[in-house]
Structure 1
Amino acid sequence: MSFYNEWKESGEKMIPWVIAKDPTHFEGMIQELINAEKGIGLKKGYVSDSTYWLMYKERVIGVVNIRHELSELLRNSGGHIGYGIRPSERKKGYAKLLLKLSLQEIRKLGVQRALVVCDDWNTASRQTILANGGIQDEDYIEENGAVVQRFWIHTDKIV
């Protein structure tokens, strides 16, 4: 619960989407995540996804959401992998580790090239992606004018 509260109090956008869910109904949230992984009850346009929590000494450090395939929307601005590190634990190497572990997991799903994206202003995320072998592709401009930087990472090169 402290992870959720810390992020809410920071006023920042909660990424990935799963951390925006109120954890007071934890069992229901877990069932929803299990269903999403199995592709059960997905909304139109959604794809199966897996969610993992990065923990250290029983403390939630970060969360990642791995999309098993790309829809048109994800191909443009969501990517295969969305991750977030709690505000108090940033700049400690956790994002780099979490992305690396995520790339290992997505490789198990048969994805050979993973798309990872970040907002153009998010230099820390850009550096994390590049540190994990990201190769920049064309940017995508959203309807509101926001620029999304898109990177491909070959999962067979992740050790």
Structure 2
Amino acid sequence: MRLVWPSIEFLPSYVTALKRGWSADNVRGSVAAEEELASISQDPEAFLVSLVDREATGARVALPDGSTVARLPGYRRWIWDDEFCGAISFRWQRGTSDLPPYCLGHIGYAVVPWKRRLGYATRALRCLLPEARSEGLEYVEITTDPDNLASQRVIESNGGVLHERFVKPGQFGGTEGLRYRISLG
């Protein structure tokens, strides 16, 4: 398993995962997958470029409630083992480890159902942490739901410590969440 940058070489396998019902967006699910398939169909190169935006020059980000917010610097890497296995995303604010209130965490990940329970999310997160450190962050925060024990194990396996229980902002459903912190020092 390795992390790869999204590219034309790997795009067909990514498209296959989307068509099989997978989505990196655990809130919008199939709607987000359909939007990505349409974007890829319209302009594959532009889609790939949109996944790596270290300068936050892309369009505003639509939240689940339809509101939009300023884009943060960030990128998505793909989890690969001779085929697409999932994605891990990283976003940050320059000059601080803090995030704006509309951003629940620095890192998000999703593994395709047919590759789960192989340790890929744990390994992907481990591979991404040095990249977060290179951006000057003292820590990263990752949120998950209280009933998502698999995600909690991934975070804890990478040194994550429960920082707080919180109520997600309304645009994310107002449900309970867990915020973990991984020190990068």
With the shorter chain as reference, the TM-score category is 0.7 to 0.9
Cα deviation for residue 13 of structure 1 reads: 7.3
Asked if 1:6 corresponds to 2:31, the answer is no
| Contact 1:61/1:86 (8 A) holds in 2 | yes
Asked if 1:98 corresponds to 2:98, the answer is no
CA distance in 1, matches of 2:163, 2:56: 29
| Contact 1:46/1:71 (8 A) holds in 2 | no
Q: Gaps spanning 5+ residues in structure 1: where?
A: none
- CA deviations 1:92-143 (Å, max 9, x no partner) are 0001001111212111111121101111111100111111111111112123
Structure 2 residue matching 1:73: 3-state secondary structure: coil
- Structure-2-length-normalised TM-score: 0.71
Aligned equivalent of 1:47, options 58, 67, 72: 72
Aligned equivalent of 1:30, options 42, 45, 48: 48
- Equivalent residue, structure 2, for 1:87: 113
Asked if 1:67 corresponds to 2:91, the answer is yes
Percent identity, aligned pairs only, is 24
Amino acid at match of 1:83: Y
How many residue pairs get matched?
Answer: 147
- Equivalent residue, structure 1, for 2:177: 148
| Contact 2:24/2:109 (8 A) holds in 1 | no
- Equivalent residue, structure 1, for 2:81: 56
- Say which structure is richer in helix: 1
Amino acid at match of 1:7: G
- Structure-1-length-normalised TM-score: 0.82
Relative distance call for 1:99 and 1:7 in structure 2 (3 A) is farther
CA distance in 2, matches of 1:105, 1:40: 20
